[in-house]
Amino acid sequence: MSMQPLASPSQILEQRLQDEWIVGLDYPAWLARIHQRQQALQAFTAKGIYPRILLVQSDPLEFLAGLMAACLAECPVFLGNPSWRTSEWKQVLALAQPHLIWDGTSSLSPRVNDPDPCQPLASEKGWIMVPTGGSSGQIRFAIHTWATLSASVKGCQRHFFGEGKGMIHSCCWLPLYHVSGLMQFMRSLLTGGQLLLLPKQAFARDTSLDPKVAAFVDPTSLLPQAYFFSLVPTQLQRLLQQGDQRLLWLARFRTLLVGGAPAWPTLLKAARRHHLQLALTYGMTETASQVTTLDPEAFLQGQTDFMQVLPHVQIIIADEDHQPLPPGDIGQVGIQSAALFKGYYPQRFTENGLFWTDDLGGMNDGGDLAIVGRLSRKIISGGENIYPEEIENALLNTGMVGDAYVLGLPHTEWGESLAAVVVPEPASFSLRGLQAVLKEHLSSFKQPQEWIVLPQLPRSLQGKIDKSRLQSAIQAHLQAKNG
């Protein structure tokens, strides 16, 4: 079977110009804003300069216009989180060294730097940098391209529609700068589908200022029947608590894609009881979202573990020496895919090969994958990846604590919640003061919900945390707190 040439951003946008395929923003204004951004970039690209753009916008119109303009001009673009705080902005500016900052509100840095003295490398043309975390908690950017994102869309389309050209209509309630929101935009754009941008407050009010969005979220609406709705488990949990009409509305969706964090058994049981078309997914920023998906019919029949590998992906399970293991054995998950990222900015991989995740899993004889655990200390809370080392360093840098350890505790809504165990410095310690300083430096999702103060952390002679003794101390604290 011959490979079809990849459609360029300009070809795709030209095909979709008259569609008004995005619901939830002013479509003509969006097209006009793309044109304005393109004109601004032409002042550089006409001279052969492709400036690095940092795009940090909470307004979907501004974000998607900036993204499309950057892709059309082949300028490298970094997608940013509007909730970044001071230390995170410093990390990003030092790493990305942007020439243009499209943020609308930030006063933390100049909006424009002259690209001429520091001309971007030609190899960066067309790069799309998507933010993710690292094992140290530092922000990293996974390098993607139009081709890698398109490969992910094609794999998703083939999984759900076979070799047909089925349109993917997406209901997006996830942040667009995150791979989970970004790929909903890409799926709808590339497959001829509709994209409905759901405001955060849509369900709190059961209405919207946009009449089309209001009609969609009306609990009696039949419009969701053609749509995919991507959720993290925490969002699904909240929707399940909104009453029978909202449950019937959820049950009408073609498919509910649920991923970003492990879903807990009681949540899955409730979803199954209400006959929701749940497709559990596994993927990450580095793979441009999903690489495995559980068929909704299999979910409704009681399956939750083994998920089907999407057609654009190859999975390898390996031992600690990266030697392949047979079906049934548990090992590190390795991924090969045309949708795989090209490296962590600014370092591009020297060759396309395997990406070794920090997940443990196994495959059955049918080639399906089950994820059973993690290699690192990474915590997943509400779909956000959190690296405890970053929070521990921030705590120690306050000077108020002499030792600190951060871990995840089971939580019925978030999957995991953050707990900080700290050893105070007597001369300077104040829990309220410590919490206030941390809020200045780290995003809200990195703030511990539980605080345990101990005279010292239980450590071995080698300095390693004695997890059994620490767990006992935490349990004693929680029991005393809850009576």
The enclosing domain of 357 has a CATH number of 3.40.50.12780
Question: Are 386 and 245 in a shared domain?
Answer: no
Report yes or no on 135 lying in a domain: no
Question: Are 217 and 354 in a shared domain?
Answer: yes
Between 9-16 and 60-73, two packed helices, what is the crossing angle to 10 degrees?
130
Report yes or no on 138 lying in a domain: no
Q: Please say if the pLDDT value at position 417 is more than 80.
A: yes
Q: What pLDDT is recorded for position 117?
A: 46
Question: Are 240 and 266 in a shared domain?
Answer: yes
Q: Which two tokens stand for residue 395?
A: 């705590």
Report yes or no on 361 lying in a domain: yes
Question: Are 389 and 452 in a shared domain?
Answer: yes
What average pLDDT does range 409-415 have in this prediction? 89
**Domain housing 280:** 147-338+347-374
Name residue, tokens 């970053």.
Answer: 390
pLDDT tens-digit series, residues 51-86: 999 999 999 999 999 999 999 999 999 999 999 988
Question: Are 198 and 83 in a shared domain?
Answer: no
Question: Are 257 and 115 in a shared domain?
Answer: no
Cβ–Cβ contacts within 10 Å for residue 137, how many?
A: 21
Report yes or no on 141 lying in a domain: no
The enclosing domain of 25 has a CATH number of 3.40.50.980
C-alpha atoms less than 13 angstroms from C-alpha of 22 in its C-beta half-sphere: 23
Do residues 79 and 67 lie in contact, with contact meaning Cβ atoms separated by under 8 Å?
yes
Question: Are 399 and 363 in a shared domain?
Answer: no
pLDDT tens-digit series, residues 144-192: 999 999 999 999 999 999 987 899 999 999 999 999 999 999 999 999 9
Question: Are 289 and 395 in a shared domain?
Answer: no
Q: Rounded distance, CA 27 to CA 314, Å?
A: 38
Question: Are 41 and 118 in a shared domain?
Answer: yes
Domain count along the chain = 3
Q: Please say if the pLDDT value at position 288 is more than 60.
A: yes
Question: Are 404 and 420 in a shared domain?
Answer: yes
Mean pLDDT, the chain, as a whole number? 90
The enclosing domain of 439 has a CATH number of 3.30.300.30
Report yes or no on 449 lying in a domain: yes
Question: Are 238 and 171 in a shared domain?
Answer: yes
Question: Are 302 and 428 in a shared domain?
Answer: no
